[in-house]
Amino acid sequence: MALIIKPHNSTTKAVREARHLALPIVAMGVIIAILYFGRLFFITSIVAVTIAFILEPFVALLMRLRFPRSLASFVVCSIALLFLYVIGMGAYSQLSSIYGDLPKYGQRIGDIVDDVRQRVLGMEDRTYQLVVPARQRQQEQDRLRAQQQAELARKRSKKVEPVVPAAVPGAIPEVRIHEESTAIGDYIYSRLSSFYQLLLMISFVPFLVYFMLSWRDHINRSFLQFFHGEDRLIAARSLQGIADMVRAFVVGNFLLGLLLAMISSTMFWAMHLPYPLLVGPLSGFLSLVPYVGLPLAMVPPLFAALAVNQVPTYVLVVVLVALLHLFALNLLYPKIVGSRVHLNPLVVTFSLMLWGFLWDAPGLILAIPLTAGLKAVCDHVKGLRQIGKFLGD
């Protein structure tokens, strides 16, 4: 009898171990799928929560002045929207000026592209003449010329097609013009649905922020009701840790970006670049994007430098932006932002890869605060403290 029970027990144990291993893998796959397909919802919610964490100290300040929480939240949200409106109007005025100068910039870009193309073609011709004999070159040129003529004839036959109705003898041929769709038009048409969904989600952000601020106490009490005893204290500490970390991280990035924007605008104004009040902030805040901040920070000033169109100006822009970026990344960022997050570089790299894959560009921006928030939770939960130490620096 014992010989029969033993294999049965071993089989049951193996099944339990396989089930115990499979369940976390399946759960992880389901979570990743939900995060991927519901990214608009999650990104909107996280942005609203982040803004609410930033504005909460201002609401608390007004409440000390005997303002009710609902009124204090309304006043703070209104001032924040007014601040964004003023920034948007300033950016709109600069963009309107740029729009008027677009033909000039387009001509400069076209000249640069044509010059590069001519140089590349010249290098190809010289290489071709050195490698290929003269007779073979002539045969190759004749073949290419014949292919171009055949392609041109085929395009003309596609654009204009005479159609004669078979039922009416002697009818005048009807000419049909085939409208060729452009790549830009197709791209805009294919993205209309995503653009509409993005605008719809953005419109929810002010309302979400207001309700999160005005109902903060009720939301905290209701959330803590899910826990009992010591778990309730751990949940409260975790929430406070996440709020402090997100607030410190976002405020630190904003202050650093503001400093870089002021320095960049001053440099570009001294170089007599057009639109320094728009190009400087764009370059300064783009410099904070992880890993790709340096090339992104160079794009706006290089575009503005097209109006000057001088090689020393291009070189000076590249050198100054690179030096400012390296100075901010190596000296300012660790002191202002890095000390508030406490994540090791390997975890930061993996988090950028994961969230960038799931949520594209917004994932790159939100990767570090999300991972730091996860670390804050792990630091306060006794069973997850080892994971918190692994994520830490």
Locate the domains of the chain by residue range: 48-122+205-226
Averaged pLDDT, 7-14: 68
Predicted TM-score of the model (pTM) = 0.65
User: Which is higher by pLDDT, 87 or 154?
Assistant: 87
Q: For 309-333, how does the pLDDT look when each residue is reduced to its tens digit (9 = 90+)?
A: 788 888 898 999 989 888 887 777 7
Q: For 155-205, how does the pLDDT look when each residue is reduced to its tens digit (9 = 90+)?
A: 666 554 554 455 555 555 554 444 445 555 555 566 666 777 778 888 888
User: Which is higher by pLDDT, 43 or 138?
Assistant: 43
Print the SS3 string covering the chain. Answer: CHHHHHHHHHHHHHHHHHHHHHHHHHHHHHHHHHHHHCHHHHHHHHHHHHHHHHHHHHHHHHHHCCCCHHHHHHHHHHHHHHHHHHHHHHHHHHHHHHHHCHHHHHHHHHHHHHHHHHHHHHHHHHHHHHHCCHHHHHHHHHHHHHHHHHHHHHHHHHHEEEECCCCCCCCCCEEEECCCCCHHHHHHHHHHHHHHHHHHHHHHHHHHHHHHHHCHHHHHHHHHCCCCCHHHHHHHHHHHHHHHHHHHHHHHHHHHHHHHHHHHHHHHHHCCCCCHHHHHHHHHHHCCCCCCHHHHHHHHHHHHHHHCCCHHHHHHHHHHHHHHHHHHHHHHHHHHHHHHHCCCHHHHHHHHHHHHHHHHHHHHHHHHHHHHHHHHHHHHCHHHHHHHHHHCC
Q: For 45-93, how does the pLDDT look when each residue is reduced to its tens digit (9 = 90+)?
A: 888 888 888 888 889 899 998 889 889 999 999 999 998 888 888 778 8
Q: For 99-119, how does the pLDDT look when each residue is reduced to its tens digit (9 = 90+)?
A: 776 677 667 777 777 777 777
Say if residue 386's pLDDT is above 80: yes
User: Which is higher by pLDDT, 22 or 31?
Assistant: 31
Q: For 211-254, how does the pLDDT look when each residue is reduced to its tens digit (9 = 90+)?
A: 988 888 888 888 888 887 777 887 888 787 777 777 777 778 88
Mean pLDDT over all residues of the chain? 78
pLDDT of residue 78: 92
User: Which is higher by pLDDT, 144 or 324?
Assistant: 324
How would you class 312 by CB atoms within 10 Å of its CB: exposed for 0-12, middle for 13-18, buried for 19 or more? exposed
pLDDT of residue 179: 47
pLDDT of residue 136: 63
Q: For 322-373, how does the pLDDT look when each residue is reduced to its tens digit (9 = 90+)?
A: 898 888 877 777 766 666 667 777 887 888 888 888 888 788 888 888 888 8
Backbone angles phi, psi at 2, to 5 degrees: -65, -35
